[in-house]
Chain A
Amino acid sequence: MEGLQTTWGSLIAVYLFLGGLGAGCFVATAVIALTTGERFRSTVRFGAWASAITIVVGTLMLLIEVGKPFRALVLFNSFSNLQSWMAIGAWLVFGAILFNGLFALFWTESVLRWAGARVRFLEKKRKVFRTVLAAPGIFLNLGVAFYTGVLLGVLPFRPFWNTWWLPALFTVSALDTGIGLVTAYATLRERGEGATRLRRILEVSVITLIVIEGVVLGYYLHKMLNGSADAARAAQLLIRGAVSPVFWIIVVGLGLAVPLLVCLSQLSGSLRRAAVVLPLVAITSCLLGGLALRFVVLWAGIPSSLSSPSTMQILAGIRFVP
């Protein structure tokens, strides 16, 4: 791993990935819930729980990575500097855990019955609660997805991260992995009236997002290759350097190409017979690609070499001469 950024390692990559996945999953789920009501409650319940659990697990990864996890849990102390994106993000994630968790509970019949037996209006007004959680929750979760990129994007001395294209890329990736997960579940479980239409809409969304992700990724790398020498050096790591096998095979191949082809074939109806296997292949491949994307971006976050003339040149040496 020489020459790569490794201070933030696997746990942070998993955190950024799961944060995005959970956020994307909530957005898809909340939109389905808001537009179709009870019709696809199985999918909504799955999406709601998946969005809550992934963000909780992701946050646990972050807590394991930091030096003082228990101190970090005291949010109002440890995330009090709201000029820091790390702090803004922590509050967004906290809000998302709360909203996504409550949303999941309000879509779980057994919980609703239990709560309704004690406080009747909780069950009676379930529609209102679900709407009140879903609508603002969409914006909150979009914030979480965006933040996973901004966290890295605002660091000026890490040239490969320091662009708004990174949050854009992570947001699109969050949405396509999240919506992909909901699509896979809906394809396998939803039958009957409207199910085909729902599946088609979801598949078209996934295809659109994958195409957008490909374009954003391409433009991002193009910008980096034509940017500063440091940015170009980092981008080369992905294209033909140390991490290129992961980038081309997992991020591009499994993350973009495979799900795109599967969704297209599903949509055209040409491969309907493999209806159980294909969605599982597509979503596994899509999730692996999303996870690998966070890994390669973190690895490429090498520091700038402060290459201005004169005395800064001395410091440039310091960073790289062992």
Chain B
Amino acid sequence: MQKGFYLDTERCMGCHTCEAACKNWNGVEPKITDKPGAQGPKWRRVTNIESGAYPNAQIISVSLSCMHCGEPACVAVCPAGAISKRPEDGIVVVDQSKCIGCHYCFFACPFGVPQYGSSGTMQKCNYCLDRTEKGQEPACVNSCPALAIRAGTMDELAKYTQERLARQLAGSTQPSMLISR
């Protein structure tokens, strides 16, 4: 049963709490260089998207992580076979002990998801398996003050297509991500 995320862009206010909670829970290093503004790897990223012009200007915030694609491009190109898709829930995971840090997955991923820290190996969202396997929500979902991010099986998330006019992201890799506008 494929699991994935749903994002409600009307609820997301760009507070970056999910980013911080993700980094905190997963012990992602805060920065890898001393350059001003360096932020280190991010397994979840919030981006503000501006569109239109005054008086019809609009800004929306979008929080995205790995999409745990149905046909993940990263898995196919990894020379070491370090990335795999779990058959039971479709979560795409990285075996840190196999990754050689060649960055090939970074180029294959259409969303720029793979990140590299000071260890040199690839890291990304693992759907907080240490939480979700115990029945808890992923850290991002748990921390969002606006309930903008939801996690679940794609069947469970499908209700948002009715309620919130959410749509699954299109793409050859079949991202497991629903998003509303």
Contacts and interface: CB of A to CB of B under 8 A. Distances in A.
Interface in A63-95: 65-69, 71-72, 77-81, 83-87, 90
B35 to A, nearest CB: 14
Name, among B45, B79, B99, B112, the residue most crowded by chain A CB atoms within 10 Å (CB to CB): B79
B154 interface: no
A63 to B, nearest CB: 9
Interface string A298-309: 000101101010
Contacts of B60: 314
A78 B79 CA distance: 6
Contact of A66 (B50, B62, B112, B120): B120
A78 B121 CA distance: 13
A161 to B, nearest CB: 8
B101 interface: yes
A77 B99 CA distance: 10
Contact of B170 (A68, A77, A311): A311
Interface string B26-49: 000000000000000000010111
Given A7-B103, A66-B102, A72-B102, A86 B9 contact: no
| Chain B interface, >50% SS class | loop
Given A304-B110, A311-B167, A318-B62, A68 B101 contact: yes
A90 B102 CA distance: 12
A304 to B, nearest CB: 7
Name, among A77, A301, A306, A318, the residue most crowded by chain B CB atoms within 10 Å (CB to CB): A318
A218 interface: no
B145 interface: no
A68 to B, nearest CB: 5
A156 B73 contact: yes
A314 B100 contact: no
Given A7-B106, A81-B79, A157-B109, A317 B49 contact: yes
Contact of A318 (B49, B98, B109, B120): B49
A8 B103 contact: yes
Interface string A149-178: 000001111100000000000000000000
Nearest to A303: B112
29 contacts: A7-B103, A67-B100, A67-B121, A68-B120, A72-B102, A80-B80, A81-B80, A86-B77, A86-B78, A86-B79, A86-B104, A87-B79, A90-B79, A155-B108, A156-B73, A157-B107, A157-B109, A158-B107, A301-B107, A304-B110, A306-B171, A311-B167, A312-B171, A314-B62, A315-B169, A317-B47, A317-B49, A318-B49, A321-B49
Given A155-B108, A311-B179, 20 more contacts: A65-B102, A66-B101, A66-B103, A67-B116, A67-B121, A71-B98, A78-B80, A78-B100, A80-B81, A81-B81, A86-B79, A87-B79, A90-B79, A303-B112, A304-B110, A310-B167, A314-B60, A315-B64, A317-B51, A318-B64
